[in-house]
Amino acid sequence: MKESVDFSHFKDCRVFVTGHTGFKGAWLCFWLNQLGAKVYGYSLPPAYPGSVFERVDLGSTMDGEFSDVRDSVRLSAAMRAFEPEILFHLAAQPLVRAAYDDPKYTFDVNVGGAVNLLEAVRATPSLKSVVFVTSDKCYRNKEWVWGYRETDELGGKDPYSASKACAELVFSSYVDSFLAVRRDLGIATVRAGNVIGGGDWSPNRIVPDCLRALLSDQPIVLRSPHATRPWQHVLEPLGGYMRLALLLARDPGRFGGSWNFGPGSDSINTVLALVEKIVADWGKGQIRTEIDPNAPHESGLLQLSIDKARLELDWKPRWGFGQTVSETVAWYRRVEAGESAAAVTAGQIRTYESSVRA
Ligand SMILES: NC(=O)c1ccc[n+]([C@@H]2O[C@H](COP(=O)([O-])OP(=O)(O)OC[C@H]3O[C@@H](n4cnc5c(N)ncnc54)[C@H](O)[C@@H]3O)[C@@H](O)[C@H]2O)c1
């Protein structure tokens, strides 16, 4: 049965977001703000100058605090005090390379933080819906061509992937042991990957690396030009998370579990194809290939099966590869040219919303 979901339900809804200063979290909070939600963020301060959080001035348009998810007492207190109905958990150390550099920190934040988050959920009876973000990398990568389904085996060779698989196990254990008895609480993990969009400045991510090069008139250096990835615009999974959050509150028993939110198959492309499209949209730029034989192991293609979300949530990707890249480049170009980031972001959200209605 198709479920109709109306985002106007977010109006006046109390929403707690961890990771609100990050790339995905800032887009999510901005969107929720536009819908009239009362949003409270819990994260570390923004890590990169020019972040979406700063550019759209989220600090003055929503409540929140700069605190650590490793601080269990503080996280529980903040959540209980705000009395949220909906929770989105995005706070994490999300970078594969950084996890090789500091695996302990990555496990502390991504796994220890997950434990603390779920303890806070236990202590917060106002919650009706929890969307817990992990990653497509939570699946054991068998280097096969088929899409991974929500029931496939978890695992991860590198510390980041393993931390996300562990977070999934922690989540299941808390649901089975403590949370399943709360019949009025819908709770799910969500798995997406290779998200692109305006305002990401993280190190060692391909789009920010391109923009840093283009803005300083340097060549874009590619170390794995033929790596193939499923690219998707940040609004796609966020729209899925928001849809799921409302459905979880409506029917916890039916929508609890795990959900993949990946792109359509036309969005699976090489790094080189992505960068060539970025350069074409930017209007100029050079590409240079320098294969690094000592680069740490990164998984091969890992794509998600999105049949479950299509059939049960009536969610599907709306923007193909071309539009995904064009909207991403347009955001950076227009904001760097001095347009208001809030206006550009709001405009892209409106365009996306009309693609969903079309
Ligand atoms: N961007 C992607 O392509 C992608 C792909 C798959 C999964 N994810 C997941 O989505 C989520 C958001 O990713 P993103 O790309 O926005 O990352 P990001 O680095 O831009 O944001 C991470 C957020 O987590 C917060 N955070 C990190 N450590 C923290 C700590 N110790 N205490 C409190 N807050 C902390 C940061 O302050 C920031 O707000 C993460 O869980 C990530 O693993 C992202």
DSSP one-letter string for 102-163: -HHHHHIIIIIHHHHHHHHHHT-TT--EEEEE--GGGB-----SSPBPTTSPB--SSHHHHH
Going 276 to 325 to 358 to 334, the CA torsion angle's sign is negative
What pLDDT digit, counting tens, does each position of 294-330 carry?
Answer: 776 666 678 999 999 999 999 999 999 999 999 999 9
Return the ligand 1 atom nearest residue 200 CA: 20
Q: Is residue 233 one of the residues assigned to a domain? A: yes
Angle at 314 between CA 173 and CA 86, to 5 degrees: 45
**Residue nearest ligand 1's atom 26 by CA:** 91
Q: Is residue 275 one of the residues assigned to a domain? A: yes
pLDDT of residue 4: 82
Q: CA 255 from chain center: how many Å?
A: 19
Q: Is residue 338 one of the residues assigned to a domain? A: yes
Q: Say if ligand 1 is within 6 A of residue 19 CB.
A: yes
Task: From 164, 195, 236, give the residue whose CB has the most ligand 1 atoms within 8 Å, as the site to mutate.
Answer: 195
Q: Say if ligand 1 is within 6 A of residue 268 CB.
A: no
204 Cβ contact list (under 8 Å, min separation 6): 95, 96, 97, 98
Q: Average pLDDT for residues 100-120, to the nearest whole number?
A: 98
Residue 2 has pLDDT above 80, yes or no: no
What pLDDT digit, counting tens, does each position of 20-68 carry?
Answer: 999 999 999 999 999 999 999 999 999 988 899 999 999 999 999 999 9
What pLDDT digit, counting tens, does each position of 9-21 carry?
Answer: 999 999 999 999 9
Provide the percentage of residues in the chain whose pLDDT is more than 70. Answer: 98
Q: Say if ligand 1 is within 6 A of residue 172 CB.
A: no
Return the ligand 1 atom nearest residue 160 CA: 43
pLDDT of residue 41: 98
Q: Say if ligand 1 is within 6 A of residue 68 CB.
A: yes
Taking the centre of ligand 1 as the mean of its atom positions, its distance from the CA of residue 18, in whole angstroms, is 9
Q: Say if ligand 1 is within 6 A of residue 302 CB.
A: no
Task: From 16, 17, 23, 53, give the residue whose CB has the most ligand 1 atoms within 8 Å, as the site to mutate.
Answer: 23
Task: Determine how many CB atoms are found less than 10 A away from the CB of residue 27.
Answer: 27
Query: What is the pTM (predicted TM-score) of this model?
Result: 0.97
pLDDT of residue 224: 86
Q: Is residue 61 one of the residues assigned to a domain? A: yes
Q: Say if ligand 1 is within 6 A of residue 230 CB.
A: no
Q: Say if ligand 1 is within 6 A of residue 84 CB.
A: no
The CATH number linked to 218 is 3.40.50.720
Q: Is residue 350 one of the residues assigned to a domain? A: yes
Q: Is residue 1 one of the residues assigned to a domain? A: no
Residue 255 has pLDDT above 90, yes or no: yes
Tally of domains within the chain: 1
pLDDT of residue 1: 62
DSSP SS3 for 180:
coil
Q: Is residue 2 one of the residues assigned to a domain? A: no
Taking the centre of ligand 1 as the mean of its atom positions, its distance from the CA of residue 283, in whole angstroms, is 31
Q: Average pLDDT for residues 210-238, to the nearest whole number?
A: 94
More confident residue, 264 or 214: 214
Task: Give me Rg for the CA atoms of the chain.
Answer: 19
One-letter amino acid of 266: D
176 Cβ contact list (under 8 Å, min separation 6): none
Distance CA 28, CA 41 (A): 11
pLDDT of residue 294: 75
> Of the ranges 234-238, 266-270, 316-320, which one carries the lowest mean pLDDT score?
266-270
Q: Is residue 95 one of the residues assigned to a domain? A: yes
pLDDT of residue 302: 84
Domain boundaries, position 185: 7-293+300-357
Q: Say if ligand 1 is within 6 A of residue 355 CB.
A: no
Indicate the average pLDDT of the chain.
95
Q: Say if ligand 1 is within 6 A of residue 64 CB.
A: no
Taking the centre of ligand 1 as the mean of its atom positions, its distance from the CA of residue 92, in whole angstroms, is 4
